[in-house]
Amino acid sequence: MNYALIFAGGVGKRMRNGALPKQFLELHGKPIIIYTLEKFEENPSIDGIIVVCVSGWEDYLQKKIGRFNIKKVKKVLTGGKTAIESQFIALDYVKKDLKQDPEKTYVLLHDGVRPLIDQDTINKNIECVHQHGTAVTVVPAIETIAISGENHSIDELMDRSKCVMARAPQSYLLTNIYRAYSKAQEDEDNTFIDSATMMMHYGYELYTVEGTTNNIKVTTPIDFYIFKAILDAE
pLDDT band at 205 (very low <50, low <70, confident <90, very high): very high
**136 within 8 A of 33, measured Cβ to Cβ:** no
The proportion of the chain whose per-residue pLDDT surpasses 70, expressed as a percent, equals 96
Over residues 125-146, the pLDDT tens digits come to 999 999 999 999 999 998 889 9
* Model pLDDT for residues 66-82, shown as the tens digit of each residue: 999 999 999 999 998 88
pLDDT in tens, 6-57: 999 766 555 555 578 999 999 999 999 999 999 999 999 999 999 999 999 9
Q: How many CB atoms lie within 10 A of CB 229?
A: 10
Alpha helices (H) in 29-141, listed in sequence order: 32-41, 58-67, 83-92, 119-132
DSSP string computed for 110-135: EETT-TT--HHHHHHHHHHHHHHSEE
Across all residues in the chain, what is the average pLDDT?
92
pLDDT tens by residue, 84-101: 889 999 999 999 988 888
Per-residue confidence (pLDDT) for residue 189, from 0 to 100 = 83
Instruction: In whole angstroms, give the CA distance from residue 33 to residue 111.
Output: 9
Q: Name the band, by pLDDT with cuts 50, 70 and 90, for residue 83.
A: confident
Range with the poorest average pLDDT among 17-21, 46-50, 160-164, 199-203: 17-21
- Backbone φ and ψ for 189, nearest 5 degrees, come out as -110, 105
Residues 230, 158: contact at Cβ < 8 Å? no
Q: What is the mean pLDDT of residues 141-170?
A: 90
Tell me the Cα Rg of the chain. Answer: 18
